[in-house]
Structure 1
Amino acid sequence: MRVVIVGNGPAAVSAIEAFRSVDTESDIIVLSDEPYPAYAPNCMENVIRGDISEEALFYKGGYGFYEKYRVDFRGGKQVVSIDNKRKVVILKGGEEISYDKCLLAAGASAFIPPIPGKELGGVTTAKNLDDAKRIREWVLSGKVRKAVIIGAGPIGVEDAETLRHMGVEVSVVEVFDRVLPRMLDRYMAEKYMKVLEEEAGIKFYLNHQVVAIHGEDGWVEAVEIQQAGSDRRKFIPADMVILSTGVRPRTYLVENTDIKLHIDEVRGRVVGGILVNQYQQTSDPDVFAAGDICSGLDAWGNHRWIALFPPAVQGGMVAGFNMAGLKVKNPGLVDYNAVKTRLVTAGSGGTFEDAESSLSFEYGNYLVKVFLKEGKVCGYQFVGLPVKKPINPRNKFLKGEIQIKGMGLEASGVLFHHFIRLRYREVTPAVIEAIRKGFLRALGLPAFEVPLFIRE
């Protein structure tokens, strides 16, 4: 059997590991438009700062990973479409590669809004490794003293703090009324943003839209913005502009096929990625999808597009097992995230937009908010405010004092497993006491967890 995997991110490598644990003989071909071995996509701000080792960045062991799992890795090969009737993937230039089973794990691409001036030099996205290397090169060259980041999502705020750490003056423009609008409600977002404003010196322009990017001699010089409900415009000086305006799943790969997309039946429009079932199969049983390219089933059995690292890993493993012949069901994609900023951190899981009520707890430097619907937990948020502590002298990347945030992605994962994926989702007095005292790890005891994968 020949398995062709389109993409080389977390979903792809997890699928390879799962597949090879069952099938050691079949051929695996990995096609990636990037030349690099698998790298940690959530560490691009570390690349910009220059504080991540090669071992940590290429977290699967570099090119040795493909040798270990007997994978034919073909970097720099851009897949433009798939023909599932003829069972081939089609590369740029016309080359076709046949498959018996195919995994679409090409992720999502940066969304570039139609802003006048976006083609100027100094304007970039910050989605992949080449982007991060480009930004670092510009900053180290001394060419960038003022930067404007368009978008205050996780990548935007992480890059903002990173650039301030490198001595760049940073302004962040956000069209919504708060930072991290998909992660935090207004109250929690204000707590988070206040630290970045007062301690990092980042300037935020909320409720503002970018009108145009201006420059001379082919390089950016200023960003023109306008506040919602006002005719007044402002020009922010800039030597560099980072477009952090979200991502879009690479659904163009199945554009001319009968493979189904995630469509809102009421509105009649696409609202996510390629639609997959509990086995990560698309509407074509020989074509699987995992990661940011697809919409999978969440913990409540609803199809959702979740462009995050944990569900990519989980979905990839489920796809890998099933392509190898096992019958493995995904009981619900995980949905938790945390922002890796040094001064202050934030995290969330589940949903909060349609919550009926909420509970808030404070303990030390932790602020946790739990959202309820029909008496059950439907989501949570937390903000970990800074506490100064001496650093580990053996850490070669840090000097002086560091702000300890208290809670990050691991804590967000623990909260998710407790609140969203437990057999018992009621908020009991014992749970409230555990949150108040900061005993988050205790909530992740194996006795309470639902298995990630179900073997049928």
Structure 2
Amino acid sequence: MKVVIVGNGPAAVSAIKAFRKVDKDSDIVVLSAEEYPAYAPNCMENVIRGDIGDDALFYAGGFSFYEKYKVDLRLGKEVVSIDNKKKIIYVKGGEEVSYDKCLLAAGASAFIPPIPGVELGGVTTAKSLDDAKRIRKWILEGRVRRVVIVGAGPIGIEDAETLRYMGLEVSVVEVFDRVLPRMLDKHMADLYMKPLEEEGIRFYLNSQVVAFHGEDGWVEAVEIKKLGSDRSIYLPADMVILSTGVRPRTYLVEGTDIRLHVDEIKGRVVGGVLVDEYQRTSDPDVYAAGDICSGIDVFGRHRWIALFPTAQQAGAIAGYNMAGLKVKNPGLVDYNAVKTRMVTAGSGGLFEEADESHTFELDNQIIKIFLRDGVLIGYQFVGLPKVLSVNKNNPFLKDSITFKFTGQGLEASGVLMHHFMRYRDRKVTQKVLSVIKNGALRSLANPSHDIPLFSL
């Protein structure tokens, strides 16, 4: 059997490992548009700072990973389409690759909004390793002093903090009324944003970018307007980072009968390639995992969740099943955490559908849980900062910047996530609420405490 994997990210890596646990001999071919072995896509801000080594960046083991798992890795091969009837994958330049089973794991591409001036030099995305290296190069060359980031999602926020650490002037423009709009509600987002503002990051909420301006082919200013206003504000910029979301690479299945995630009521595409609980598409020999597809979440509904953990989870399921097993995905969760050191934040599950919420303040942590019919359906947290001294040995740091750090928030998120996944069907009783209120979060994740905690 010949298995061809389109893409080389976390979903592909997990699929390869799972497949080889079952099938030691079948051929595996990986087609990647990039020129690198699999790397951690959630560490691009580390690349910009220059504080990550190859062992961590190429987390699967670099090129030795493909040797270990007997994978035919083909780099620089951009797949443009698939013909699932002929079982052929078409590569840019005319190459054709046949398959017996195929895994679509090509992820998502950064969305570049059609804003006038977007083609100017210094305007870039920050999603890929090449993007991060380009940004770092511009900074080291001294070309950048003032940065405008368009979009206050996780990538935009992480980049904003990173660039502020590196001594740059940073402004963030967000069309919504809060930062991290898909992770936090207004109350929690404002708590999270305040320490970032205190560190000198300027936020322009409820604002949209109208145009990028520059001479000699390089950006010099970003024109923005408050929603509902005709007055333009011009933000000086030597570099602009577009953090305006991603789009699944569903163009790979255009012209085929492979189904996409469509809102049946509105009649429009709302996600990626549609897969079942086995990560199969509507073609039983074509699987999909990661940011390219819409999988089934823990609530039993199809959702497009473009996150590292869900890609790893879905990739493993696809790998097992391509090898002949019949393993169900237990359900995806849109768990996310922002890797900022000034202040931490994270969330998981659903918020808009809650009929009840509870907020707790614990030692520099704000925890909010969301219930529906008494059952936990989601949570949010913000870990507020503690002051630490500046690391004088870092050449990028400026004495005028006060640094803060909290490690508590991420631990709280991990415990809540653990509880959320294991006990999502149980009612949130007063005992559970009191445990959270009293700060005994670890008891929620400790199996030895299950019986006394929940009185089973």
TM-score (normalizing by structure 1):
0.94
Aligned 1:365-380 pairs, distance under 5 A:
365-380=364-379
C-alpha distance in structure 2 between counterparts of 1:81 and 1:328, whole Å: 28
C-alpha distance in structure 1 between counterparts of 2:304 and 2:192, whole Å: 25
- 1:437 is displaced (CA, Å) by 3.7
- Name whichever of 229-238 and 426-435 sits farther off: 426-435
- 1:377 is displaced (CA, Å) by 1.5
Partner-residue secondary structure (3-state), 1:17: helix
Do the aligned partners of 1:273 and 1:293 also contact (CA within 8 Å) in 2?
yes
Residues 293, 134 of structure 1: CA spacing in aligned structure 2 closer, same or farther, 3 A cutoff? same
**CA distances 1:411-443 after superposition (whole Å, capped 9, x unpaired):** 434312312442543222332233234333432
Aligned sequence identity (%): 72
Task: Answer yes or no: is 1:159 the counterpart of 2:159.
Answer: yes
C-alpha distance in structure 1 between counterparts of 2:380 and 2:107, whole Å: 26
- 1:166 is displaced (CA, Å) by 0.4
Query: For structure 1, which runs of at least 5 residues remain unmatched after alignment?
Result: 450-456
**CA distances 1:254-279 after superposition (whole Å, capped 9, x unpaired):** 01100000000000000000000000
C-alpha distance in structure 1 between counterparts of 2:14 and 2:449, whole Å: 25
C-alpha distance in structure 2 between counterparts of 1:414 and 1:351, whole Å: 17
C-alpha distance in structure 1 between counterparts of 2:98 and 2:449, whole Å: 44
Partner residue in 1 for 2:415: 414
Number of positions where the alignment pairs a residue of Structure 1 with one of Structure 2: 448
Partner residue in 2 for 1:344: 343
Do the aligned partners of 2:166 and 2:396 also contact (CA within 8 Å) in 1?
no
C-alpha distance in structure 2 between counterparts of 1:299 and 1:159, whole Å: 31
C-alpha distance in structure 2 between counterparts of 1:262 and 1:446, whole Å: 38
Partner residue in 2 for 1:215: 214
C-alpha distance in structure 1 between counterparts of 2:353 and 2:265, whole Å: 18
C-alpha distance in structure 2 between counterparts of 1:437 and 1:405, whole Å: 19
Partner-residue secondary structure (3-state), 2:347: strand
Do the aligned partners of 1:418 and 1:448 also contact (CA within 8 Å) in 2?
no
Task: Answer yes or no: is 1:91 the counterpart of 2:91.
Answer: yes
Task: Answer yes or no: is 1:245 the counterpart of 2:248.
Answer: no
Instruction: State the AA in 1 paired with 2:77.
Output: K
C-alpha distance in structure 2 between counterparts of 1:300 and 1:259, whole Å: 24
Query: For structure 2, which runs of at least 5 residues remain unmatched after alignment?
Result: 451-456
Residues 396, 277 of structure 1: CA spacing in aligned structure 2 closer, same or farther, 3 A cutoff? farther
Instruction: State the AA in 2 paired with 1:266.
Output: I
- Name whichever of 347-356 and 309-318 sits farther off: 347-356
Residues 315, 77 of structure 1: CA spacing in aligned structure 2 closer, same or farther, 3 A cutoff? same
TM-score (normalizing by structure 2):
0.94
Partner-residue secondary structure (3-state), 1:313: helix
C-alpha distance in structure 2 between counterparts of 1:184 and 1:11, whole Å: 26
C-alpha distance in structure 1 between counterparts of 2:424 and 2:254, whole Å: 39
C-alpha distance in structure 2 between counterparts of 1:176 and 1:352, whole Å: 17
C-alpha distance in structure 2 between counterparts of 1:236 and 1:147, whole Å: 9
C-alpha distance in structure 1 between counterparts of 2:395 and 2:234, whole Å: 40
**CA distances 1:361-398 after superposition (whole Å, capped 9, x unpaired):** 011101001111122112110000012358999x9999
C-alpha distance in structure 2 between counterparts of 1:375 and 1:114, whole Å: 44
Aligned-CA RMSD value: 2.3
C-alpha distance in structure 2 between counterparts of 1:58 and 1:392, whole Å: 27
Task: Answer yes or no: is 1:329 the counterpart of 2:349.
Answer: no
C-alpha distance in structure 1 between counterparts of 2:347 and 2:366, whole Å: 12
Do the aligned partners of 2:8 and 2:32 also contact (CA within 8 Å) in 1?
yes
C-alpha distance in structure 1 between counterparts of 2:49 and 2:99, whole Å: 41
Task: Answer yes or no: is 1:298 the counterpart of 2:308.
Answer: no
Instruction: State the AA in 1 paired with 2:434.
Output: E
